[in-house]
Amino acid sequence: MEQIVFLDRATIAPQIQVRRPDFEHLWQEYEHTAENQALERLRDATVVINNKVPLRRKTLEKLPSLRLIAMAATGYDCVDRAACEELGITLSNIRGYAVNTVPEHAFALILALRRNLLAYRQDVQRGEWVKADQFCFFHHRIHDLAGSNLVIIGEGSIGQSVAALGRAFGMHVMFAAHKGSTSLGPLYTPWEQALALADVISIHCPLTPATEWMIGMDEFRAMKRRPILVNTARGRIVVEEDLATALRDGLIAGAGFDVVSVEPPPLDHTMMRLLELPNFILTPHTAWASDEAQQTLADQMIDNIENFVRGKPSNVVV
């Protein structure tokens, strides 16, 4: 009988239904699991459902019964992929569920920053409109999306959906070539050229050794048009101290982030100290989390488990 352990059920909203697989099994779920609790909770597990709990080699090597890690997410950087391959543990993930929710969240950030909504809202709260001697005032610049250059980093399904929304707004869409790449297809704009031309940059690539800390001070200085930078991917793609400098020195016009290198961030974290700025928006890693997207995720996660047990594994990473 399969023994299924869900390590972090609280990472899916309580209103989302997680159905039980249609085969005989034992089910154990925990709201949260710390890394040092994982081994004890998984000792007899054959299947683990995991979102963000680190599962490293030292843990996986002590779990001889484990056959499947079913991620409740697309990203799997918290799991030691090489160890899974060596130990014969199948790793599956979720795909295609966020093609509406993440692009819509990205554009909510883009629109708010391009039109300086936070700054104007703060002005209204402070009474600036009441004191104005005409029907409106112009304390902050406002820019249309139509005619502007949208650079997308990451050409997967989410990046493609962002591109479709950008085109609907009349933006000129470019996909940035991979940093350091010399072989370019017709889809891509060279990395340095894309940074120089961008009015808006939206990040949708996975976190890998090649993308970790990919955007730092050299890249900010190359952004000639002072774009806004939006990151709904992973926090460690952008050097956060350099982002703070870029914002304060006016190298970019604004930034909207849904991700941080440490989640949740402590109060003294660099990104938390930027919240005083009217051209910075930080949301708590919720771009993926519309009810519709979460239900699709939960259903696909159980599909992956059922398919694995039937001998026809789906969405296999390892």
Catalytic residues: 234, 263, 285
Q: For residue 19, count CB atoms less than 10 angstroms from its CB and return exposed for 0-12, middle for 13-18, buried for 19 or more.
A: exposed
The DSSP letter of residue 268 is: T
Q: For residue 134, count CB atoms less than 10 angstroms from its CB and return exposed for 0-12, middle for 13-18, buried for 19 or more.
A: exposed
The end-to-end CA distance of the chain, in Å, is 23
- Element holding 253 (H helix, E strand): none
Q: How far apart are CA 268 and CA 266, in angstroms?
A: 5
Question: Tokens standing for 174?
Answer: 């470019």
Asked if residues 35 and 53 have their Cβ atoms less than 8 Å apart, the reply is yes
Asked if residues 80 and 60 have their Cβ atoms less than 8 Å apart, the reply is yes
Tokens 């949301």 locate to 283
Give the 3-state DSSP-derived string for 20-87, with helices as H, strands as E and coil as C.
Answer: CCCCCEEEEECCCCCHHHHHHHCCCCCEEEECCCCECHHHHCCCCCCCEEEECCCCCCCECHHHHHHH
